[in-house]
A and B are shown apart, each in its own frame.
Chain A
């Protein structure tokens, strides 16, 4: 079955760069049409889509965050890495990675990783 799990720091200082890794199983990111997306959810607030990387290395990002985001993949390790620069306290949220298909919302979700931005 498809599983995903996020890993990374739980606490980040303002202005620092956040790096989160998504390790997945049950699918291959080299399969046609497959993607891994990132979504975040501030405490008590709604879901916010961040971006997605597809099997062919095509990437799409939220327009409001595009300048701060990088998404890369390591197909051999079944991992996707999200990098977000210049972190601010408003970026405090649970960050999720999830499986997706081309030009579709995500389907299978990871358990999420809470990241707090504080000095």
Chain B
């Protein structure tokens, strides 16, 4: 994948976890980052857009940030229902299309 994410992350209920997404100047460095949550057996769901904006209905436990060519998704007050795969994405000016991260599987211990 063009964007690099850790394959896995974990935390205990109530904890704060962070998932990183690393790119380059042609994608994250030049454009906004989007994050998706994919629960098992379902389609991805928009979690964060424009680096740090939450759609209505997404709890404020989820937050996004971007610095240079990297971005990060933070989940505070971790809950069991947060167990899912998380993907980052951005437009890439060189490839002239959308690039995704390889996904991070979050386990709530």
With contact pairs A47-B87, A104-B91 given, residues A109 and B43 touching in the complex (Cβ less than 8 Å): yes
- Do A49 and B99 touch across chains, with their CB atoms under 8 A apart? yes
Task: Report chain A residues within 8 Å CB of B45.
Answer: 109
Bound together, the chains give a CA A111 to CA B31 distance in angstroms of: 27
Task: Report chain B residues within 8 Å CB of A109.
Answer: 43-46
Query: Total interface residues on B, using CB and 8 Å?
Result: 24
Bound together, the chains give a CA A15 to CA B4 distance in angstroms of: 33
**Could you say which of B11-19, B72-80, B100-108 contacts chain A?**
B100-108
Instruction: Give the one of B31, B91, B96 with max A CB within 10 A.
Output: B91
Task: Report chain A residues within 8 Å CB of B32.
Answer: 104
With contact pairs A46-B1, A105-B91 given, residues A52 and B100 touching in the complex (Cβ less than 8 Å): no
Bound together, the chains give a CA A112 to CA B43 distance in angstroms of: 7
- Do B91 and A103 touch across chains, with their CB atoms under 8 A apart? yes
B89's nearest neighbour on chain A, judged by CB, is: A105
Residues in chain A within 8 A of chain B (CB atoms): 37, 39, 46-49, 51-52, 60-63, 96, 103-112
* Interchain Cβ contacts under 8 Å between A and B, 15 examples: A39-B98, A46-B103, A48-B100, A49-B89, A49-B98, A61-B97, A63-B95, A63-B96, A96-B43, A96-B44, A103-B91, A104-B49, A104-B91, A106-B34, A111-B43
